[in-house]
Amino acid sequence: MTDRRDLLYQQCRERFPTLRVRGIRAVFLFLNFLLIITALYQLKPASKSLFIEYLGADSLPYVWIGTALTMATMISVYHKLVERVSRIRLVLGSCFLFGGILIGFRIWLIHPDPVAATAFYIFVDILGVVLVEQFWSLTNAIYSTSEGKSWYGFIGTGGLLGGVIGGSLAGLLLNHTSLQTPDLLTVAAGILGITLVLSLIMNRLGLYCEAEGSAQEVVSKGGWKAITKNRYLILIAAILLLAQFASPVIEFQFLKTVEITYPDLEPRTAFLSYFFGLLGLVSIGVNLGLTPLVHRTLGVIAGLLVQPLVITVCALGFLVSPTLMWSAAAKISDRGLSYSINRASRELLYVPIDTVLIYQAKAWIDMFGYRLFKIFGSLLILMFTRWLPVAVSIPRLSWLVAGICFLWFFVILQLRTEYGLLVPGKGEVKIEES
């Protein structure tokens, strides 16, 4: 499979002279990913702030459950489209469609109401998942294996930088212009328009060249069965899903604290915008500084331990002092470290695994596991804050976060033994489905 993909990629290089310039495709993809995330980070603070304004942070678990169920329903429809439509047409169509829907939402939000705020929140989550998945799906199809290893880190940094630019831009627009929260939708639609034009240019230059047969993905059916037959995969899935289990609780504590601290819409949106910019900046700093240092000196398992350790410290800090500073620190430790050192460490875990098993495991985790565990996390929040006879306070939810992190630690230590058996030297051992 690898040799064939390298051959097909070489055919693309022969057809399009642009591809012969080393790195030019990576630069364009870097810019493309940067624009996608910049647009997304115009929308994230707006969707969260509007939802809090019209429904309150206490209703967030309900919309998270609704989002997960909506995405689960749309996945099958989306994958049918992938089978029938070329990736580049799907990307172009998605940018055009999402831009149009954003303009529609902007008109709807002239007179906002709870229904509009809820629909917009769910839409933003779907937009983020679809555009990012499309981007990496297309990138995986157009790169040869060897060049992908060389350029994926650079391309991914475009997304992290997009988070910094997007969040900072939204905050600046709200604080230093006459624009208000709903106007960020128009800005995002404009950025998606630029993304559409850039994609058209890339396609014309042959940067999206997919030789016939190179776009076929590994069929990822039976992902759950593939995981259950392999202890190593079970442990990997467990640490990924425990992280997703803790994430809604941390998000709820953070947004509830933001609601209390910033009761007005515009200041709240501006704060969230700058916060997301800071989150992206932390991710870049950790990615460039801490991640290589930890991996070189302490190893992959130590890299995995960083996130639950920092989350535990921040959660207990919020328990003792329930302030915006501690809840923001917990949120950064959750998402900022997840996008940087934890992501890099997780990818290294897949090195000793058979390629087909990787696709099967990731497919199940990405399509079902994450959403299922987000629903579980949301139900836990509702149980402790609303359904029990005696409601648990927001700061005391930190005990739940700490408990999840304790279990997270335990699974990583179990994984350490398995990883040590598989990778005694350079990780050249490959495991097959047992």
State pLDDT tens for residues 15-53.
666 665 667 888 889 999 999 999 999 999 999 999 999
Find the mean pLDDT for residues 54-76: 88
Which CATH number characterizes residue 65's domain? 1.20.1250
Spatial separation of the C-alpha atoms in residues 315 and 333, rounded to whole Å: 10
**Least trusted range by pLDDT, from 12-26, 192-206, 385-399:** 12-26
User: Domain check: are 186 and 321 in the same one?
Assistant: no
Q: Report whether pLDDT(214) > 60.
A: no
Torsion of CA 136, 140, 146, 150, to 10 degrees: -10
User: Domain check: are 128 and 190 in the same one?
Assistant: yes
User: Domain check: are 260 and 286 in the same one?
Assistant: yes
Cα separation of the two ends of the chain: 22
User: Domain check: are 136 and 92 in the same one?
Assistant: yes
Work out the number of other CB atoms within 10 angstroms of the CB of residue 301: 17
Spatial separation of the C-alpha atoms in residues 350 and 143, rounded to whole Å: 19
Q: Is 199 exposed, middle or buried (0-12, 13-18, 19+ CB in 10 A)?
A: buried
User: Domain check: are 7 and 116 in the same one?
Assistant: yes
pLDDT band of 220, cuts 50, 70, 90: very low
User: Domain check: are 206 and 320 in the same one?
Assistant: no
Reported pTM? 0.85
Q: Give whole-number Cα distances, 4 to 221, 350, 407, in Å.
A: 23, 22, 43
Hey, what are 6's tokens? 């390298």
User: Domain check: are 243 and 203 in the same one?
Assistant: no
Q: Report whether pLDDT(9) > 70.
A: no
Domain end marker among 170, 196, 217: 217
Q: How many domains does the chain have?
A: 2
User: Domain check: are 173 and 208 in the same one?
Assistant: yes
- Phi/psi at 117 (nearest 5 deg)? -65, -40
pLDDT digits (tens, 9 = 90+) for 337-382: 887 788 777 777 766 666 566 666 666 676 677 778 888 889 999 9
Torsion of CA 283, 217, 82, 245, to 10 degrees: -40
Spatial separation of the C-alpha atoms in residues 92 and 47, rounded to whole Å: 24
Query: Could you tell me the residue range of the domain that residue 354 belongs to?
Result: 220-434
List of residues 6+ apart from 16 with CB closer than 8 A: 205, 206, 207, 209
Domain end marker among 217, 245, 269: 217
Q: Is 115 exposed, middle or buried (0-12, 13-18, 19+ CB in 10 A)?
A: exposed
Hey, what are 190's tokens? 């404009």
What single-letter amino acid sits at 90?
L
Q: Report whether pLDDT(210) > 70.
A: no
User: Domain check: are 123 and 249 in the same one?
Assistant: no
Q: Report whether pLDDT(298) > 70.
A: yes
Nearest CA-CA partner of 179 in 44, 46, 272:
46
Mean pLDDT for all residues in the chain: 83
Spatial separation of the C-alpha atoms in residues 209 and 202, rounded to whole Å: 9
Do residues 279 and 160 make contact, with C-beta atoms less than 8 angstroms apart?
no
Do residues 46 and 184 make contact, with C-beta atoms less than 8 angstroms apart?
yes
Q: What pLDDT is recorded for position 422?
A: 65
Hey, what are 208's tokens? 């999206």
pLDDT band of 331, cuts 50, 70, 90: very high
User: Domain check: are 34 and 112 in the same one?
Assistant: yes
**What own/partner pairs with CB < 8 Å and gap ≥ 24 does 341-345 have?**
341/286, 341/287, 341/290, 341/291, 341/294, 341/303, 341/306, 341/307, 342/243, 342/303, 342/304, 342/306, 342/307, 344/287, 344/291, 344/295, 344/303, 345/291, 345/295, 345/300, 345/301, 345/303, 345/304
Residues listed for the chain: 434
Please state whether 206 falls in left (phi above 0), alpha (psi between -120 and 50) or beta: left
Which CATH number characterizes residue 329's domain? 1.20.1250.20
Spatial separation of the C-alpha atoms in residues 250 and 335, rounded to whole Å: 10
Please state whether 56 falls in left (phi above 0), alpha (psi between -120 and 50) or beta: left
Q: Report whether pLDDT(196) > 50.
A: yes
Domain end marker among 166, 200, 217: 217
User: Domain check: are 62 and 154 in the same one?
Assistant: yes
Spatial separation of the C-alpha atoms in residues 378 and 365, rounded to whole Å: 18
Spatial separation of the C-alpha atoms in residues 198 and 92, rounded to whole Å: 10
Sign of the Cα torsion 52, 56, 58, 59 reads: negative
pLDDT digits (tens, 9 = 90+) for 119-169: 999 999 989 888 887 887 777 667 655 565 567 778 888 888 999 999 999
User: Domain check: are 204 and 287 in the same one?
Assistant: no
Hey, what are 334's tokens? 């959750």
Hey, what are 151's tokens? 């350029």
